[in-house]
Amino acid sequence: MTVREQLSKELEQAPDSLVEEILDFCLFIKQRQQAKVNNQATETKTNGILDLLERVKEIQAQVPTEEWDKLPHDGSINHDHYLYDSPKIEG
């Protein structure tokens, strides 16, 4: 007899109050397992983002300082100017 069959047999013979408790316990266990799966998925995403950021840092380190100096230092203020050629804000 399998465990599933044995459990089914016991449930058939158990009083309703015990069956309710067993159901509550089963639902609790399922919820806990789902939370573990969700946590693992979140950790995988987080690790992926951290790997990406690490790769960006590696690429940035390869760019010579002279090249970084050629970039505009007022990019956040004049971002519309550089993207859409709107008037430049002096600041």
The ranges assigned to domains in the chain are 25-70
**pTM of the entire predicted model:** 0.45
pLDDT exceeds 70 at position 5: yes
Angle 8-11-25 from CA coordinates, rounded to 5°:
100
Q: What is the pLDDT of residue 17?
A: 95
In the numeric block, the tokens 């690790």 are attached to: 47
Instruction: Summarize pLDDT for 28-73 with one digit per residue, the tens.
Output: 999 999 998 888 888 888 888 889 999 999 999 999 999 999 888 8
Q: What is the pLDDT of residue 91?
A: 64
Q: What is the pLDDT of residue 81?
A: 86
